[in-house]
Structure 1
Amino acid sequence: MASNKDSFGRTLFVVVGLCLICSVLVSTAAVVLKPIQQENKLLDKQKYILEAASLINPKEGKITKKDILSKYEQYVDARLVDLKTGEFVEGDANLYDQRKASRDTETSSIPENDVASIKRVADKAVVYLVRNDEGKLTSVILPVHGYGLWSTMYAFLALEADLNTVQGLVYYDQGETPGLGGEVENPKWKALWKGKQLFDAQGDLAISVTKNPTVASSVHGVDALSGATLTSNGVQHSLEFWLGKEGFASFIAKARNGGLS
């Protein structure tokens, strides 16, 4: 019996010891790798911002880290905006985590008209101002998101300096069905957005993701994704929310009145 107890005790000691060692290794790895993961996450975001502004083209081959960092630093100015007032506010926009802020009841609110099913909207958002070598504003990039069929879809909407004409809509994080809703990342579908206008002559939101070929071929229309009605609706609702009064409407109004000059 003593031998069995000793054997059990040694086994338990080994198991506990291994668990402790593994826990230490996992915790250490997590701490060591976290800065690298954060750096890669930021670099990935910057790459999509540059793509939305047509400053890089993924079709041209591998884009190096150096290319991304140099172009972003040279041309892009990230600014924090108070969504209620549309005014710029102080803070490091490159380090601001809008998703985290939207989950905090102290830094977010429940939208009155949650057409995009985002549940909470952060009080502040990031906008990206893109200027050319002469310092002239060429793009304003707005982060937008909303729920599709299976997932919350995150994108960058790039607008020309008139804040009406679309330069690009680039989805960078979504979990829609591959080959259907996942086609929001298809270059052919993304190309449909270039040159479209969001607002009509009266200033009302007019952009429409639609199956109607006549509307889709107009300056305010984009052809809906085939076989992915709910995902297409999600794109439409995302734009309706983020270009509306609880999104960037105040900022857009101020920008059009010289707020970016």
Structure 2
Amino acid sequence: MSEQDNNSKGFIGRFLSLPTDSVPKTIFVAVAVCLVASMVVSAAAVALRPIQAVNALKDKQINILQVAGIYDPNVDVLEAFAAFEPRVLELETGTFTDQFDAASFDDRAAADDPATSIALDNDPAGIVRQAKYVTVYLLRDEAGDLDKVIMPLHGYGLWSTLYGFIALEENGNDIFGLQFYEHAETPGLGAEVDNPRWKALWNGKKLVDENGTLQISVAKTAPAAGADYHVDALAGATLTSVGVHNLVTFWMGESGYEPFLQQLKAGTL
């Protein structure tokens, strides 16, 4: 084919006349496949986002039910979760606020928003910013009296931020349970925070002593305050255990829920 005939075909014609295994056609096919695949993945992600959000919310609700000790796999999650009374808590004052709708308030979004969070200078939990408001969940008994309060907490472990809940008895001091619903700690080591045997160690432990001093600890040895304030560290997961200790003591301390717990104990809420 003469150069004049080849030029008369135009760019597309010249491209189509190339051998199938030519470099331009190989690159074209590779790029086209990548574009189509990315469009399919993007479309699927957008289409599945509402389902993922619903599943994430359901998983969170199951964890709240579990840490409160009332989860039953044979009972509908939404039906069981209706037993809780969600309230938005202002951490600084330790009082509930009606400024936000508790059913839709997003704790994580609040922590990222400068209008509803503060940057931390003293940050033992490694969370960088702390929301001024969080959602707590009240569980009442059949008589309408407070039975348990479930509070969210989070902090950095070895590889990831651990998000979870702590359940306290109505006295605001005795721990009923602690568990995490999201983290990326090492399987078989730090991920043992999910081990039922380790989670069971938290039941019955106390936060503060008779003098009101925060004593709860996660360590290899019990503190001077005694076994009532001690949870054994995870074997082979020192840094994750330190992270859990730091996040629990941070959130249960004066920078976290202490103002709320004081009012809870005083019965002023």
Deviation digits for residues 161-218 of structure 1, max 9, x if unmatched? 0010010001111111111111111000001110000110011101111111576971
Q: Which moved more, 1:9-18 or 1:137-146?
A: 9-18
Of the candidates 84, 91, 115, which is equivalent to residue 92 of structure 2? 84
Q: Would you say the 8 A contact 1:156–1:170 is kept in 2?
A: yes
Residue 41 of structure 1 pairs with residue 50 of structure 2: no
Partners of 1:33 and 1:92 in 2: CA distance: 26
Is the 1:140–1:160 contact (alpha carbons within 8 Å) kept by the matching residues of 2?
yes
SS in 2 for 1:259: coil
State the match for 2:209 in structure 1: 200
Distance 2:187 2:258 in 1: 33
Amino acid at match of 2:258: A
Distance change in 2, residues 1:9/1:203 (3 Å)? farther
CA distance in 2 between partners of 1:94 and 1:8 (Å) = 59
Q: Is the 8 A contact 2:192 2:198 kept in 1?
A: yes
Answer with 12-21 or 80-89: which moved more. Answer: 12-21
User: Superposition pairs for residues 1-261 of structure 1, below 5 Å?
Assistant: 1=6, 2=9, 5-6=12-13, 8=15, 26=41, 28-56=43-71, 63=73, 67-73=76-82, 75-90=83-98, 91-212=100-221, 218-260=227-269
Number of equivalenced pairs: 253
Q: 1:221 to 1:16 in 2, by over 3 A?
A: closer
Over the residues paired in the alignment, what is the CA RMSD in angstroms?
2.6
Percent of aligned pairs with the same amino acid: 46
TM-score by length of 2: 0.84
The residue type paired with residue 80 of structure 1 is: V
Displacement of 1:32: 3.3
* Alpha-carbon distance between aligned partners in 1 of 2:40 and 2:14, rounded to the nearest angstrom: 27
Q: Who wins on radius of gyration, i.e. which is larger?
A: 2
Question: For the residues of structure 1 that align with 2:240 and 2:262, how far apart are their CA atoms?
Answer: 29
With the length of structure 1 as denominator, give the TM-score of the two structures: 0.87
The structural deviation recorded for 1:19 is 7.5
